[in-house]
Amino acid sequence: MKYTTLPNTDIKVSKLCLGTMTWGNQNTQDEAFSQMDLATEKGINFFDCAELYPVPATAETYGETERIIGNWFKKTGNRDKVVLATKIAGSGDYTAHIRTNGFSPEALHNAVNKSLKRLKTDYIDLYQLHWPERQTNTFGVRDYKHIEDDKWQDNFKEVLQALDQIIKEGKIRHIGISNEKAWGTMRYLEESKTNSLPRMITIQNAYSLLNRVFEGDMAEISMRENIGLLTYSPMAFGVLSGKYIQGTASENSRLKLFPRFSRYSSGQSTKAAKAYLKLAKENKMSLAQMSLAFVTQQPFVTCNIIGATNLKQLNENIGSIHVSLNQDVIDSINRIHDILPNPAP
C-alpha cells in the first residue's frame, strides 16, 4: 500500500480509501465485515461512509452502513487502526426522511451524535457536508443555471461556527466538503481565514476517466489551496470495470439493480468506455486497474475511494495501487479524452 497525509494534518492515510455505500443493501453485514478484513489486511486504513448510506437512500435503510461499521469496530477492536470519515446528508426531497433543517447548528449536532452512536465511537476523524444546501449543478448536471427563487441564504460562517463547536467538544477532528463547486469551496476557505474558524481540508467529488470535470477550476483550487480531492466513483458505477459493455455483469451489480443510476450510461460514455477498454487490453491491463491507477496518480488526488460488492472485485481494485501508468498510456488516455471529453459530467 502507498500512504499520504490528509492535507494540513499529520494523519497518515492509505492512498486507497474503502468506500462503503453498498453495505446494508447490495451487501450483507457479513460481506461487509469480510471487505473490511481484506482491506485492512492489504494496508487500507481509511474508510469513507455517510449517514444516508446505503444507497439508494430510504427511511428503512437509513444509517445501516454506519451501524455495520460500528459492529465491526466492536467485534475487532480496530477503531484505532482506521481513519474514519462520514457525512451529514444534504437537503432535498431525497433526504427528507432524515431531516429538513439542512446544515443548521441543530442539524449538525444531531447528525454527529447519531453517527457516533451508530459507529460505536467517540470521535470521527473527518466529517463532511455531503452536498451543498444551495441549488447548484451537482450529480451529473453539466452547467450552472442560476435559480432566482432559491430560498437558501449564505450561511458558510454559521456552518463553520457550528462545526468549530463540535470539534471543541472532541467529537470530530477535521472537516471536509463533498459535491461542492469552486465558488462554495472558496467561500468556506475565505470564512475560515477571515474568522479564524476550522478549515475544510478535503473535497469529495466524482472523478474518473469518464468525468474529469474536476481538472478545471477545482484542480487549481485543490493545488493552490491544499484542499485534497477524495475521488468517488472512480469506476463510474462499475462501467469502467468493462462488465457492462462485455455483458459479464452479475444480477447483483448496481446498474442491474438500480437502472435509474444512469449517470455513466449514456451513448457517449459507453463509446468512451469501449475505447479505454481497448487501450487497457493493448497494454495488458484490466480496464479497472488502468482506470483506478489513472485517478490515484493525479497530483490533486489525496485518496481514491474504491468500492466493490465482492472480494474478487475488491482485491483487483486494491491491486491497482501497484500499477503505474507510463507516459505513453497517459498520452493515449488523453487522446481519447480529447475526442470524447467528459461524457458523464
Angle of helix 287-296 versus helix 311-319 axis, rounded to 10? 50
Closest CA to 344 of 211, 240, 208, 179: 211
Res 214 pLDDT > 70? yes
Residue 39: inside a domain, yes or no? yes
Residue 344: inside a domain, yes or no? no
Residue 83: inside a domain, yes or no? yes
Residue 37: inside a domain, yes or no? yes
Non-local CB neighbours of 11 within 8 Å, separated by 6+ positions: 5, 83, 125, 173, 174
Confidence of residue 229 (pLDDT cuts 50, 70, 90): very high
The count of structural domains within the chain is: 1
Residues annotated as catalytic are: 53
Residue 203: inside a domain, yes or no? yes
144 φ, ψ to 5°?
Answer: -80, 130
Q: Residue 149 sits in which domain range?
A: 3-339
pLDDT tens digits for 283-306? 999 999 999 999 999 999 999 999
Q: State the CATH number of the domain containing residue 218.
A: 3.20.20.100
Residue 345: inside a domain, yes or no? no
pLDDT tens digits for 50-99? 999 999 999 999 999 999 999 999 999 999 999 999 999 999 999 999 99
Single-letter amino acid, residue 288 = A
pTM: 0.95
pLDDT tens digits for 251-277? 666 655 566 667 888 899 999 999 999
- Please return the burial class of 146, using the count of CB atoms within 10 Å of its CB with bins 0-12, 13-18 and 19+: exposed
Tell me how far apart the alpha carbons of residues 58 and 87 are, in angstroms, rounded to a whole number. Answer: 16
